[in-house]
Amino acid sequence: MFTRDGVQYEFPHLGVPTQEVKPNERCNSRFGFYTSRSRAFELQLSKRRHAD
C-alpha cells in the first residue's frame, strides 16, 4: 500500500507479461503460465510467461 498525490493505492501484486525465462520461475500448469516474483520499491512484481 502506498499514497501518491493524496490517493491511497493497495495492490497484492502487479502482473507483468514477459517472454524471457526468469530465475526461480514456478509453473502453474492449471493455467499454463510461469511466475517469478521480485520486490521493486513498495510494490511486488509478478512476471508471467505463458507456456508454449
Residue 22 included in any domain: yes
pLDDT tens digits for 14-46? 778 888 888 888 898 898 888 887 766 566 667
Residue 25 included in any domain: yes
Residue 1 included in any domain: no
Residue 3 included in any domain: no
Residue 39 included in any domain: yes
Residue 35 included in any domain: yes
Q: Write down the pLDDT at residue 40.
A: 60
Q: Write down the pLDDT at residue 44.
A: 67
Residue 15 included in any domain: yes
pLDDT at residue 50 is higher than 70: yes
DSSP annotation string for 3-51: EETTEEE--S-EEEE--S--TT-EEETTTTEEEEEEEETTEEEEEEEE-
Please name the residues in contact with 15: beta carbons below 8 A apart, sequence gap of 6 or more. Answer: 46, 47, 48
* Domain total of the chain: 1
Domain that holds residue 17: 10-50
